[in-house]
Structure 1
Amino acid sequence: MKKISQHIYVRTLTESDAEALLTLERENRTYFQQFTPLVQDDFFTVPRQKERINRSMQRRAKDEAYMHGIFLNETDALIGTISLNSVERGPIQGALLGYVLDEKQGGKGYMTEAIRLIIDYAFYELYLHRIEAGVKPSNIGSIRVLEKTGFENEGLHRKKVKINDKWEDHYWFAIIHPDES
Structure 2
Amino acid sequence: MKYFGVYNPMSGVIIREIKSEDKEIFLCAMQSSQALHHPWVKAPVTPDEFDEYFSRYQKPNQKSYLLFSANNLAGVFNISEIVRGYFQNAYLGFYAVEAHAGKGYMSKGLKLILTRIFKEMGLHRLEANIQPENNRSIWLVKKNGFRYEGFSPRYLRVNDVWQGHEHWAMTYEDFIKDNNDVLEKDHIDIVAYNTEWPLLAKIEMAKLRASFPANSVIDLQHVGSTAIPGMAAKPIIDIQIAARSLEEMKIIAVPILQKLGYEYWEDNPDSERMFFVKGMPPYGNGRTHHVHIVETSSRHWKGKILFRDYLLSHSEAAEKYQQLKIKLAREHKYNREQYTDAKSEFINQILKLAQN
* TM-score interval, normalised by the smaller of the two chains: 0.7 to 0.9
Instruction: Please say if residues 13 and 68 of structure 2, whose CA atoms lie closer than 8 Å, have aligned partners that are also in contact.
Output: yes
Q: CA deviation at 1:107?
A: 1.7
1:8-65 CA deviation, whole Å, 9 max, x = no partner? 11101111111001111211223323112586xxx512x54245324422x1xx2x01
Count of residue correspondences: 171
Task: Report which of the two has the higher share of strand.
Answer: 1
Task: Report which of the two has the higher share of helix.
Answer: 2
SS in structure 2 opposite 1:91? coil
Matched residues, percent identical?
26
Judged with a 3 Å threshold, the aligned counterparts in structure 2 of structure 1 residues 149 and 53 are, in CA distance, closer, same or farther, namely: same
Instruction: Please say if residues 56 and 62 of structure 2, whose CA atoms lie closer than 8 Å, have aligned partners that are also in contact.
Output: no
Alpha-carbon separation, structure 1, partners of 2:168 and 2:139? 11
Does 1:155 find its partner at 2:150?
yes
- Amino acid in structure 1 at the alignment position of 2:64: M
Judged with a 3 Å threshold, the aligned counterparts in structure 2 of structure 1 residues 144 and 48 are, in CA distance, closer, same or farther, namely: closer
Instruction: Please say if residues 80 and 99 of structure 1, whose CA atoms lie closer than 8 Å, have aligned partners that are also in contact.
Output: yes
Question: TM-score under structure 2 normalisation?
Answer: 0.45
Equivalent in the alignment of 2:7: 4
Flag the structure with more relative contact order, 1 or 2, with Cα contacts below 8 A and sequence separation at least 6. 1
- Amino acid in structure 1 at the alignment position of 2:25: A
Question: TM-score under structure 1 normalisation?
Answer: 0.86
Segment of structure 1 superposing worse, 101-110 or 19-28: 101-110
Q: CA deviation at 1:158?
A: 1.0
Alpha-carbon separation, structure 2, partners of 1:49 and 1:110? 23
Judged with a 3 Å threshold, the aligned counterparts in structure 2 of structure 1 residues 104 and 37 are, in CA distance, closer, same or farther, namely: closer
Superposed structure 1 runs of 4+ greater than 4 Å apart: none
- Amino acid in structure 2 at the alignment position of 1:16: E
Equivalent in the alignment of 2:50: 49
Q: What does 1:1-181 align with in structure 2 at a 5 Å threshold?
A: 2-5=5-8, 6-37=11-42, 44-45=46-47, 48-57=49-58, 59=59, 62=60, 64-72=61-69, 74=70, 76-178=71-173, 181=283
Alpha-carbon separation, structure 1, partners of 2:65 and 2:43? 21
CA RMSD for the aligned pairs? 1.9
Q: Which structure has the larger Rg?
A: 2
| Structure 2: segments with no counterpart, 5+ residues | 177-281, 284-356
